[in-house]
Amino acid sequence: RQMLPRVFLSQPLQNGVSRYTCQLKRITLKFCKFRPNSLGAREFIENGDFLEFARANPQVACYLKPRRNRPPVLQAEFANGSVQLARIDSFPAEFVRRWFWLMRGRSGDDLLPLHENLRSFHPSVQGVWTPFTFGRSVGLGDLSDSRHRPMSPSATELIQQLHRLQSARMS
Amino acid sequence: MHLTCPLWVRRIPKIYRNNDPFYLRNLYLQFSFLFRGRSSRCFRLAEQRVIKAFQHMNAMRAVRKDRFKQLCDERIDAACAQHGIPGKMLIDGLGRMNIQLNRKMLQQLAIYEPYSFKSLTDLVKQYHSELGIVPPNAEPPAPVVTRGLLQSPIVPGNRKYYE
């Protein structure tokens, strides 16, 4: 009961099947101009990596928000309306860069444990196994083995009962 | 548990202990959302159930892996049994022939690709019959010309793949 719900791998509106649209719409980098934990964010901007990201991704609106005395944060907003925050407190500039490019690849869906890392709508080429795939070699179960017995005896069983009674009477 | 992004971390920071008790109790109650009865409303009950829930989550991680492994083994065993060999013989035989398929893939083949799986069992039966081991209750496989390659697969042509 305490297991986290697992989901199947999916993309919003089957993104990527025929056409791919970048799901990231807006990315905001909030940082402080003075405090040391924003150093990585400041270096990321000054080295030109931020502009490089913005030019390489014209579909994403990139914002910078200098905020005094606040820890640095990356806020990414996606096409499905979800907002994801990444705390980049005391990160080196390279890590900030990697977070930017990671958000660019995300779909905005919640991060939940997956049943499987793969998903296919046609998992079987030869046909999924059934008890009849290799003939009826897999016993489908006689009714006598089954735990689910019908309420009234079948006609065969009635005749068998009569036969047993009769043979008992005769002997 | 209903875990939102901040609760996902599943940690109760020590900082909450030395401050206003409201914050710690509120956190426990957030974790106990959707629990049964007063355990979801009253802190003194929620605390116990939440701690136990975390213990269960922790313990289940190892158990879950074992259970899926067991399920995997059962499936391979059942699929092999239809073709008349025990599951262990399949895994051992494939290993000896240097066919590197793990249990997860064998399970997927058995479910979704039954004829490929059958061909694997045939291969194992052929290998064992060449050594003189006949699995009981097995139909003999269709005669295959192997030229001894199952027993000694390294020939001058494919030596580089075995180095």
Q: pLDDT tens-digit profile of B53-93?
A: 999 989 998 998 999 999 999 999 999 988 888 999 999 99
Closest residue in A to B51 (Cα–Cα): A2
DSSP-derived letter for residue A114 is B
Distance CA B121, CA B79 (A): 10
Distance CA A23, CA B55 (A): 37
Helix, strand, coil in percent for chain A, rounding step 5: 30, 15, 55
Find chain A residues with C-beta within 8 A of B113's C-beta: 124-126
Residue B92 in any domain: the answer is yes
pLDDT of residue B129: 87
DSSP-derived letter for residue B161 is G
Are the beta carbons of B112 and A124 separated by less than 8 Å? Answer: yes
Residue B84 in any domain: the answer is yes
**Inter-chain Cβ pairs, chain A and chain B, closer than 8 A:** 42
Are the beta carbons of A126 and B60 separated by less than 8 Å? Answer: no
Name the residue facing A128 among B79, B83, B111 (closest C-beta): B111
B39, B65, B91 - which closes a domain: B65
Residues B54 and B90 in one domain: no
Residue B163 in any domain: the answer is no
Residue B158 in any domain: the answer is no
CATH number at residue B81: 1.10.1900.20
Find chain B residues with C-beta within 8 A of A86's C-beta: none
> Which superfamily, per CATH, for A24-105?
Glutaredoxin (3.40.30.10)
Name the residue facing B60 among A3, A125, A133 (closest C-beta): A3
B149 reaches A (C-beta below 8 A): no
pLDDT of residue A138: 64
Residues B29 and B59 in one domain: yes
Collapsing DSSP to helix, strand or coil, B73 comes out as helix
Residues B12 and B73 in one domain: no
Continuous segment of H or E residues that includes residue B54: helix B43-83
Residues B38 and B102 in one domain: no
Closest residue in B to A136 (Cα–Cα): B82
Residues B146 and B83 in one domain: yes
Collapsing DSSP to helix, strand or coil, B33 comes out as coil
**Nearest-neighbour CA in chain A from B111: distance (Å):** 5
Find chain B residues with C-beta within 8 A of A4's C-beta: 1, 3
Tokens representing residue B72 in the block: 């995997």
Q: In terms of residue numbers, what domain contains B107?
A: 67-150
Closest residue in A to B33 (Cα–Cα): A2
**Nearest-neighbour CA in chain B from A136: distance (Å):** 10
pLDDT of residue A149: 67
Q: β-pairing, A83-87 with A61-66? A: unpaired
Closest residue in A to B64 (Cα–Cα): A3
Q: Residues 64-83, chain B: which have Cβ within 8 Å of A?
A: 64, 79, 82-83
B110 reaches A (C-beta below 8 A): yes
Residues B44 and B94 in one domain: no
B36, B65, B94 - which closes a domain: B65
pLDDT along chain A (171 residues), means of 10: 74 89 97 97 97 97 97 96 95 97 93 86 93 74 60 88 93 83
Domain boundaries, chain A: 24-105
Are the beta carbons of A2 and B111 separated by less than 8 Å? Answer: no
Q: pLDDT by residue (tens digit) across B11-50? A: 899 999 999 999 999 999 999 998 999 999 999 999 999 9
**Nearest-neighbour CA in chain A from B48: distance (Å):** 14
* C-beta contacts of B87-94 below 8 A and 24+ residues apart: B89/B124, B89/B128, B89/B135, B90/B120, B90/B121, B90/B124, B93/B123, B93/B124, B93/B127, B93/B128, B94/B120, B94/B123, B94/B124
Residue A90: half-sphere exposure toward Cβ, Cα within 13 Å:
0
Residues B76 and B48 in one domain: no
pLDDT of residue A103: 97
Q: pLDDT by residue (tens digit) across B113-148? A: 999 999 999 999 989 988 888 877 767 777 777 888
Check if the beta carbon of residue B118 is closer than 8 Å to that of residue B85: no
Total residue length of chain B: 163
pLDDT of residue A70: 94
Residues B78 and B58 in one domain: no
pLDDT of residue A58: 97
pLDDT of residue B63: 92
pLDDT of residue A135: 80
At position B135, the amino acid (one-letter code) is P
pTM to 2 decimal places = 0.65
Residues B75 and B61 in one domain: no
- Count up the domains in chain B and report the number: 2
